[in-house]
Amino acid sequence: MKEMYPKNGRVILHVDMNSFYASVEMAYDPALKGKPLAIAGNVEERRGIIVTCSYEARKFGVKTTMPLWEAKKLCPQLIVKKPNFERYRAASIGMFEILRQYTPLVEPVSIDEGYMDITDSFELGAPIDIAESIQKRILEQLDLPCSIGIAPNKFLAKTASDMKKPLGITVLRKRDIPAVLWPLEANEMHGVGKKTAEKLKTIGIQTIGDLAKANELQLKKLLGINGIRLKERANGNDMRPVDPEAIEDFKSIGNSTTLPRDISNQQELFHVLESLAETVSVRLKRKKVLATTLGITIRYKDRKTITRSKKLANPMDHKNDVGQIAKQLFLKHWNGDPVRLLGITGYDLVELDHAYKQLDLFSYEKDAKKEPLLHTLSSLREKYGKKIIESAGSQTRDPKQHVGTATSFNKDFLRSFPNQNEEKD
């Protein structure tokens, strides 16, 4: 079987769960199978937004981020359910446990997808046999469908897994690139968004093939260092390794401070929480992650310490949002006694690129107003590099240094935060 594996290259799988949240709900309640199903926030209100939907719902034109009222107009029989994050987390853990039975080289990149390096797993069979076994076991044991891409690197494996959904297995070799990828429109390439595709058209790049053969000086002038990277990808080059340790770099991000004296004045304690929220916000932004659970620590003058946390409806990193939730938790759990120490910590963090937001019309409009500024910043970073302009929150020096250590970040937000007092919405 070893001769079916490359002598020098790698064999990478990208496992991508199909319509994950909706599929988990169908596995939990088989009566939902075959029906148009959507997962959305504010399920009883018109301003809810579709988080994900089943393939049956997609046939009616229902899409992710679509307003709930519009989705119901397209599909009046649409079944809408509120997200159940603990259920999705459990299914995700089960999925990754199956993957790790084939190789220790498994790198989760989000709750429903991950890379595997099976180069040294030849004793288990040919790559296609391993992919079929993984897909079958996930379907039989978890009742969940997935698509798998097989390729010599991460980019091509990710591209391959997108080619056939649901329950697809696609092999994409470098020699296939000219025939399979190059004829496609540039915006169909992983990593090329609508705006980038529009920019590429201004220098005559319409297809992935055009991008693969593009002039590097033109690309760098137009898109900065990202332009060169995209050309490399269009030619099927990607040297990034599958790194299981990538999820272990950090476990949480937080900050605490011992107060100069025991304080029982609510406004003074609020000021401390605001300061802590600003520091936590800076550290979240610097790591380009969002917290999906927020916790506070309260230590009284008798050294009795309590920690309480809350699962957030929307991932967050802004100081005002962090501060508001922290104050709510504090008011709910503070017994009125003098406080010696306060702390705020973000847990179950997700990378900015993989985070989604359960938008409602109000927050959507608020975010939309920022779009012109964000677009300008994005353009400058694409042209001159990510560090040409940094938001205040991404600077490396904290605005205020508190007593206490910044705890670390956990990309693997699949694990539960071990707090028996956790609150859930």
Residues with catalytic function: 113
Q: Is there a binding annotation on residue 120?
A: no
Residues forming a β-bridge with 298: 306, 342
Measured CA to CA, the distance from residue 289 to residue 384 in angstroms comes to: 22
CA 345 to chain centre: 19
Q: Is there a binding annotation on residue 367?
A: no
Q: How many residues does the chain have?
A: 425
Angle between helices 371-384 and 194-201 (to 10 degrees): 60
Binding-site residues for Mg(2+) sit at: 16, 112
Binding-site residues sit at: 16, 112
